[in-house]
Amino acid sequence: MYYKWKSKHGGMEASDIRRLRDLEAENALLKRMVAYLSLENETLKDVTSSFNHSRKTILCSIHDFTRHSSHCKSPIVSSIQTTSESDYLADIIFNYMNILFQNISDFLIF
Is the four-CA dihedral 77, 78, 79, 80 of positive or negative sign?
positive
Do 104 and 39 form a contact (C-beta atoms < 8 A)? Answer: yes
Q: What does the pLDDT read at residue 33? A: 92
Q: How much is the CA Rg of the chain, to the nearest whole Å?
A: 23
Q: What is the pLDDT of residues 11-60, one digit of tens each?
A: 778 888 889 889 999 999 999 999 999 988 888 888 777 665 554 445 45
pTM for this structure? 0.39
DSSP summary character for residue 55:
S
11 backbone φψ class: left, alpha, beta (φ>0; ψ -120 to 50): left
pLDDT given at position 95: 76
The pLDDT of residue 59 is: 47
Model confidence pLDDT, tens digit, residues 49-99:
766 555 444 545 545 555 545 555 555 555 554 556 666 777 777 777 777
In angstroms, what CA-CA distances link 104 with 37, 64, 77? 9, 22, 29
